[in-house]
Structure 1
């Protein structure tokens, strides 16, 4: 019998509504932390993996599963697991696959947050880390030992846009019995699928190109089913599960990924060409340039272009950077992230890599005059004109 008391009716409002026969065109958002079951037997079948279903959000949920299936399909992966952030994805990889006493080899030309995790947190867990130049195959091979469990690189490094030879690194890792994982945030599966080049795992920071609009938070790892299964367990244990709303927003952004990446590539190529000929600029880091140190690797791995990221060095150093930021104003804002549909810039030495000491920044080529530019999907001529005016 249905109660007429307002408290009872309010608490149960909408919980028994069933959808009609016509499904919505846009994937539905299931914003709930838990699901209800008719009996213990039904619940136990799901918990034991005999039936498909969702129980509690930390164990996974509908929107997360939909996003995982979509990214796994785009990457050509057997499985994927979504996480609360890109750093949570990397943390899940390490904690699932490396035990105390283990060893990780990673490219030193990586995002500052990655470096902090590797150099600060992993040693406290009894995990040794060796940083190498990921584009120097001999340097990588020398660093691998019998204790090495992971080799970590970025497909396009942040912020100097170096390009490791993924197939060659995959062969080195396989010969040593080491899991090879690639951060492909800058590249996305629209331009590069690392698993096709021998990687075991690929991970992304969702707020960047996968989401595309600086709105959806999260991270995701895709790859071999056995490895992803272990990472999923680690993510559940530490509570690093992605929320349903962010998974839902990320899926909406994912639908336009190939279209956006073509526009980002077109814009960045035009901007890099302009900057390379400007007297205020001493160097341009863009993989599409013929003078790029890894041009041959780029030609093999990125036939469809390299996306919207580039960096450049100003002859005037830090004062020139400050003046450029001031002159660009709201048109091209200072924003410590990347991959939005609108163009943004950042000063790596004092933002993304501010945790590194000066001597490490020097080794990485991150100078006081280095600016990282994330070129959006605007008309390239407009971005070039705005930069030209600010640099005049």
Structure 2
């Protein structure tokens, strides 16, 4: 007589081993599980030893994370990639994998506020020294580099004033000191620039921005040389900073439209920047498409398809004008402390992204009380210009 397990037993095992069939889903499948099973120890050990592809335990990596990693590596022209729980987890994984206590980092001072906090506050506690430079000033970078410098950190397009470092020249400088170059390309995405093509060793992104594109999927990703990525992966696993399956799955859905979105973001930003530059209420606009931008020539050389949807502008009326504009624009163009959504948003860097920096440092970076960072979405540029024009008066 066949034994029929108790209902409790059947419920615990329900659906656990249902094969998917031969048909392949058009959209990537979501494998929302923290662990996998194996028929015997030999099969498990083949995966643990890297002899076969597979997944064991979520912190070591999982199916959806691996699919995202391979997709980003392909877009970046990289040998490998590792997905992380956030953009800051990606950067932290890079630094802790490649720089030991007593080591030295050279980094662009014109960087995201979270990056600056890591460099200014966290790394000194670990015995890691950072020298801050203007990465667009090659002479200053060269003076800062030493044989002890393990890492040069730069942003492809800086946050929030959209400066454009000369990546090939920086790579050449770093090579003379044996320094690894890692580039934050969050503002650009591989649709506009591939730092590895210019000689960088690693590139990283905050996934919720242009890669995901819809302010839904959290995460980060680092791509580059296989050996370096393996070191970063070990760091990420030890930190417990692995990206979850659902966020990896959502990010991959967004990634499919990346080139299409980036063209629309770029076209919109060029139109909006030109409009703002001519408006009497605006004192200054930071966007590489404008003739007066200090790095317009470098941008034209490195970014033939344009520089994406990010720009910042300073209101002549200072902070009161900022508060008034935010009220007038909402909810059409809302205040949101992130960027790169398909919808246009704005933020006040001095009190959000860069609020951890002291006033003198904010002044040095050009982050004034009147500065607004605008993330131009994929809307019709004429509509954005009309809304901004009505709000500015």
Q: Which residue of 1 aligns with 2:216?
A: 215
CA distance in 1, matches of 2:5, 2:43: 31
For the pair 1:172 / 2:153, whether they are aligned, the reply is no
The alpha carbon displacement at 1:113 in A equals: 0.2
Q: What 5-or-longer segments of structure 2 have no aligned partner?
A: none
CA distance in 2, matches of 1:78, 1:47: 20
Deviations 1:88-121 (A, max 9, x none): 0000000000001100000000000000000100
Deviations 1:26-46 (A, max 9, x none): 110000000001111211121
Q: Which residue of 2 aligns with 1:130?
A: 131
Q: Answer yes or no: is the 8 Å Cα contact 1:106–1:152 preserved in 2.
A: yes
CA distance in 2, matches of 1:181, 1:325: 35
Q: Which residue of 2 aligns with 1:206?
A: 207
The alpha carbon displacement at 1:10 in A equals: 1.1
Q: Which residue of 1 aligns with 2:112?
A: 111
CA distance in 1, matches of 2:119, 2:11: 50
CA distance in 1, matches of 2:138, 2:207: 29
For the pair 1:365 / 2:378, whether they are aligned, the reply is no
Q: Which residue of 1 aligns with 2:23?
A: 22
CA distance in 2, matches of 1:73, 1:286: 29
Q: Which residue of 2 aligns with 1:291?
A: 292
Q: Answer yes or no: is the 8 Å Cα contact 1:119–1:129 preserved in 2.
A: yes
CA distance 1:161–1:66, change in 2 (3 Å): same
Deviations 1:276-315 (A, max 9, x none): 0000000000011121101110111000011000000000
CA distance in 1, matches of 2:248, 2:82: 11
Q: Which residue of 2 aligns with 1:335?
A: 336
Q: Which residue of 2 aligns with 1:93?
A: 94
CA distance in 1, matches of 2:287, 2:4: 67
CA distance in 2, matches of 1:226, 1:87: 21
Q: Answer yes or no: is the 8 Å Cα contact 1:95–1:234 preserved in 2.
A: yes
Q: Answer yes or no: is the 8 Å Cα contact 1:101–1:147 preserved in 2.
A: no
Q: Answer yes or no: is the 8 Å Cα contact 1:344–1:374 preserved in 2.
A: yes
Q: Which residue of 2 aligns with 1:141?
A: 142
Q: Which residue of 2 aligns with 1:389?
A: 390
Q: Which residue of 2 aligns with 1:48?
A: 49
TM-score (norm. length: structure 2)? 0.99
CA distance 1:2–1:335, change in 2 (3 Å): farther
- Describe the SS at the equivalent of 1:182: strand
The alpha carbon displacement at 1:374 in A equals: 0.2
The alpha carbon displacement at 1:200 in A equals: 0.5
Q: Which moved more, 1:1-10 or 1:160-169?
A: 1-10
CA distance in 2, matches of 1:4, 1:95: 50
CA distance in 1, matches of 2:29, 2:368: 46
The alpha carbon displacement at 1:4 in A equals: 3.9
What is the Cα-based RMSD across aligned positions, in Å? 0.7
Q: Answer yes or no: is the 8 Å Cα contact 1:209–1:339 preserved in 2.
A: yes
- Describe the SS at the equivalent of 1:176: coil
Q: What 5-or-longer segments of structure 1 have no aligned partner?
A: none
CA distance in 1, matches of 2:226, 2:214: 29
Deviations 1:66-87 (A, max 9, x none): 1010000000001100000000
The alpha carbon displacement at 1:2 in A equals: 5.9
Deviations 1:238-276 (A, max 9, x none): 110000000000000000000000000011010001000
CA distance in 2, matches of 1:163, 1:93: 22
CA distance in 2, matches of 1:2, 1:345: 64
Paired residue total: 392
CA distance 1:78–1:386, change in 2 (3 Å): same
CA distance in 2, matches of 1:389, 1:323: 12
Q: Answer yes or no: is the 8 Å Cα contact 1:105–1:148 preserved in 2.
A: yes
Q: Answer yes or no: is the 8 Å Cα contact 1:3–1:9 preserved in 2.
A: no
CA distance in 1, matches of 2:262, 2:247: 21
Deviations 1:201-230 (A, max 9, x none): 000000000000000000000001110010
- Describe the SS at the equivalent of 2:176: helix
TM-score (norm. length: structure 1)? 0.99
Q: Which residue of 2 aligns with 1:83?
A: 84
